[in-house]
Amino acid sequence: MGVKGWTIVYRGELLRAELLRAVLEANGVAAEVFGDSAYSAAINLTEARVMVPDDQAQAAQALIRQADEEAPPEDV
């Protein structure tokens, strides 16, 4: 799915998409999350998308990379 004038910068879990939207907006990048919120007891059953205006896509992708680099390691 595409929306004219907007670029998808993330596809994946809804919770992460919402967190990334908050990071982007805190840094002055307009962002929208699209996706259903269907959950089972243990897993997310949907794929969410974070979209930003085309002219902010590069900044958004850089912020997402920075957030990934600064994320604490996952416990395995």
Asked if residue 1 is part of any domain, the answer here is: no
Asked if residue 24 is part of any domain, the answer here is: yes
Tell me how many domains the chain contains: 1
pTM for the complete prediction?
0.78
Residue whose tokens read 């002219």: 55
Single-letter residue type at 2: G
Per the document, the length of the chain is 76
The two three-digit tokens of residue 73, written as one number: 């390691």
pLDDT tens per residue, range 7-54: 999 999 888 999 999 999 999 999 999 986 655 555 556 689 999 999
Asked if residue 48 is part of any domain, the answer here is: yes
Residue 48, pLDDT score: 92
Asked if residue 75 is part of any domain, the answer here is: no
Asked if residue 39 is part of any domain, the answer here is: yes
**Do 17 and 33 form a contact (C-beta atoms < 8 A)?**
yes
Phi, psi values for residue 52, rounded to 5°: -130, 160
- CATH no. for residue 45? 3.30.70
Give the structural domain span for 38.
6-70
